[in-house]
Amino acid sequence: MAVEKKLIITDHPLIQHKLTLMRNHETPTNLFRSLLKEISLLMTHEVFQGLRLETTIIKTPIQVIEAPTLSQHQICFVPIMRAGNGMLDGMMEIIPDAKVGHIGLYRDEKTLKAHHYYIKLPEKISEGMVVAIDPMLATGNSADKAITILKEAGAKNIIFACLLAVPEGVDLIHQKHPEVPIYTCCLDEGLNELGYIVPGLGDAGDRLYGTIPLS
């Protein structure tokens, strides 16, 4: 059976405005960090539109009613360190009782391949929805590696959420993991010779933590 490939671009005006501020090379680290949190919070509404609802009985100050509530199932956020941590706080503000795992990856600057150095995931990850988060979907190698790790741990319902994506990364994830929907705020032009997104916003991790000059 063919699997539908999904790319969902969240083009809300507030997100696009904040993304423009993040792209600006003059934006300082503290504002960059705040904007990433705010965009992640706004993205969460789109990512979880498909959550199932069930009915529960409650009593308002006026009367007893049947009211919608989320079905009881586990939600787990898994940021890809280190830049993925910048998206976590915003998403956790919307779903504060979500579980959190971490996958640490580094990129070989010559081959652009991703290698893991840290994996810590909640128990029973197979029973709920798992959202892998990373601001950038560039070559797709890091996302591919993270999704593969999650599958090997038993995850069955995986979503990938990022700030920016390019066709090269999207194509790789659709090829390797066609059942995994990709949520992003913008599909940029492509990659330069160093594997960075163009026009992009630079290295998200470095700008998030102020580890290099922004010029």
Give catalytic status of residue 107 as yes or no.
Answer: yes
Please state the φ and ψ torsions of residue 16, each to the nearest 5 degrees. Answer: -65, -40
Cβ(86)–Cβ(41) below 8 Å: no
Give catalytic status of residue 111 as yes or no.
Answer: yes
- Options 107, 108, 171, 211, the catalytic residue: 107
Residue type at position 42: L
* Torsion region of 210: left, alpha or beta (phi above 0 gives left; psi -120 to 50 gives alpha): left
Give catalytic status of residue 27 as yes or no.
Answer: no
- 82 prior amide bond cis, ω within 30: yes
Based on its alpha-carbon atoms, the radius of gyration of the chain, rounded to whole angstroms, reads 18
- Options 20, 55, 56, 111, the catalytic residue: 111
- Options 23, 89, 148, 206, the catalytic residue: 206
Residues 6+ away with beta carbon under 8 Å from 158: 129, 130, 131, 132, 147, 150, 151, 177, 179, 180
Give catalytic status of residue 56 as yes or no.
Answer: no
Query: Which residues are known to be catalytic?
Result: 107, 111, 203, 206
